Amino acid sequence: MADSPFIVDVTRENFESVILHGSMQGPVLVDFWADWCEPCKSLMPILAKLAEEYQGGFTLAKVDTEAEQEIAGQLGIRSLPTVKLIINGAVADEFTGALPESDVRAFLEKHIGAPAVPEGGLLETAQALAEQGQTEQALQMLREAQAAEPENGDIAIALGQMCMATGNYDDARQCLSILSEADAKKPEAVKLKGVLALSDADDSSRDEQSLMADLEKDKGNSEAAYLLGVKQALRGDTDSAVTTLLNLMMRDREYGDDAARKTAISLFESMGEDPQVSRYRRKMASMLN
């Protein structure tokens, strides 16, 4: 946080340049806090997150009231946390207490609008945030975009992918369910559908070692073979997964109402445009002929 260009610790020495002069160039959100103040500690990360999200839309100026009592007294601070929005050298608005993020967002949007989407587009920005570990921020950005454009299939697919990556499987399914017929055929949607199907088929109570041990005792254990193939697929060992599932398909086509073949197809879908998929599909076709 200290390294952020959008967050500044305010002292008597830089008060004028950061808050008075700085607010003539752009909005300055001044956070008055103290180390002993527990609500201050819960509000701080929200303000810091929004400062990064706005990318210069406002400057977050932090005032430690214990170290800078003169500044706190000059601005009439009587309770903590207190947050003041300074625009053009004057207080435009303020609030006290540790508000939830949604309320702080509404406070900012009332005066300075929503954060601009950086060049590169919404989807690219959300992906970049996720890659930086800011998954919740990326999810919120996509949820808001999807609410604003419910018929935008690309946003719904991207939100579904993000939900899937964070374990929100039900939300990912909901994203797929609202797609138009055309959007549902897009490679990204088909891939998401395949990954979801594999996750649904998994039995989290079993691990690969115990399944392999069961198969060593009984090579005809169809359930163990099926669950092993699913787990191999989920961890990315596609060669092993295809071999396991197709062997089961040939040996016990009746298991789970042709579950091995159906799950193999889900695996192919989850691989997207991987060139290996064509080879696997040909292998399955030759076994069925």
Residue 205 zone, left/alpha/beta (φ > 0; ψ -120 to 50; rest)? alpha
Specify whether 40 is catalytic.
yes
Q: Name the β-bridge partners of 280.
A: none
Cβ neighbours, 10 Å, residue 74? 11
Q: What are 26's two structure tokens? A: 């752009």
Candidate list 10, 19, 40, 156, residue with the active-site label: 40
Q: β-strand 59-64 against 7-9: which pairing, if any?
A: parallel
Residues 6+ apart with CB under 8 A from 226: 201, 245, 248, 255, 256, 259, 260, 263
Candidate list 10, 19, 28, 37, residue with the active-site label: 37
Please write down the long-range contacts of 223-228, taking CB distance under 8 Å and 24 or more positions apart.
223/255, 225/260, 226/201, 226/255, 226/256, 226/259, 226/260, 226/263, 227/201, 227/202, 227/203
Q: β-strand 82-87 against 59-64: which pairing, if any?
A: unpaired
Specify whether 163 is catalytic.
no
Active site residues: 37, 40
